[in-house]
């Protein structure tokens, strides 16, 4: 990736035999490209509709991803239905549960509920992915990426088969702790 090398830690978790929801911290626009580089072709992104307005990324989001209009209740429901169809069609789904790029790249921002409701209701596992170095290569607001090395840390998928919506906060906290541990090292 443009003079950026990467190392995948726990590569065995890339061998996915069924669809998962891929959840990661979000500190850079490089996060999106990183996910594209390592995950199989049957992977799509769920992202806020505002990304459609960014020149290069906007084209990407208008063509292959699920846009979430956070200003509209019906927009959220429509995105949810599309996400269910994507999972049923065998696609992995990338969601950045912080809901946007976090201004403090060393701290995981509180998660929004969408990824977790989807996972629990569809009984789809969550693959935690930590991206602790991307903001060093392309900081938020940065126009040009630096060259360098990044780590992509995969974790064993979290099973949600026995998790109820009432236990969603416990699931969110568990994922947050996994990612925060990687960002703190």
CATH number of the domain encompassing residue 117: 3.40.1130.10
Percent of the chain exceeding pLDDT 70 equals 85
Supply angle C-alpha 16, 20, 23, rounded to 5.
115
Averaged pLDDT, 102-127 = 95
Q: How many domains does the chain have?
A: 1
- This prediction has a pTM of 0.89
Averaged pLDDT, 41-60 = 68
Which structural domain range is residue 142 located in? 4-183
Token look-up 């049957």 returns: 42
- On whether the CB atoms of residues 10 and 155 are closer than 8 A, the answer is yes
Averaged pLDDT, 60-66 = 60
Residue 133 has pLDDT above 90, yes or no: yes
Supply angle C-alpha 34, 87, 81, rounded to 5.
110
Which of 134 and 142 is assigned the larger pLDDT?
134
């Amino acid at each position: 990736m443009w003079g950026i090398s990467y190392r995948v830690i726990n590569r065995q978790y890339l061998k996915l035999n069924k669809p998962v929801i891929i959840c990661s911290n979000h500190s850079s626009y490089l996060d999106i490209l990183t996910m594209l580089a390592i995950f199989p072709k049957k992977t799509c992104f769920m992202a806020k509709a505002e990304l459609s307005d960014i020149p290069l990324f906007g084209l990407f989001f208008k063509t292959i991803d699920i846009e979430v209009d956070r200003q509209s209740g019906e927009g959220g429901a429509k995105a949810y239905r599309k996400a269910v169809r994507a999972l049923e069609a065998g696609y992995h789904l990338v969601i950045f549960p912080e809901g946007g790029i976090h201004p403090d790249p060393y701290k995981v921002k509180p998660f929004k509920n969408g990824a977790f409701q989807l996972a629990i209701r569809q009984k789809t596992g969550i693959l935690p992915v930590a991206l602790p170095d991307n903001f060093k290569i392309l900081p938020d607001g940065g126009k040009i990426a630096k060259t360098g090395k990044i780590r992509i840390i995969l974790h064993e998928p979290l099973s949600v088969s026995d998790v109820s919506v009432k236990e969603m906060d416990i699931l969110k906290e568990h994922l947050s702790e996994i990612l925060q541990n990687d960002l703190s090292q």
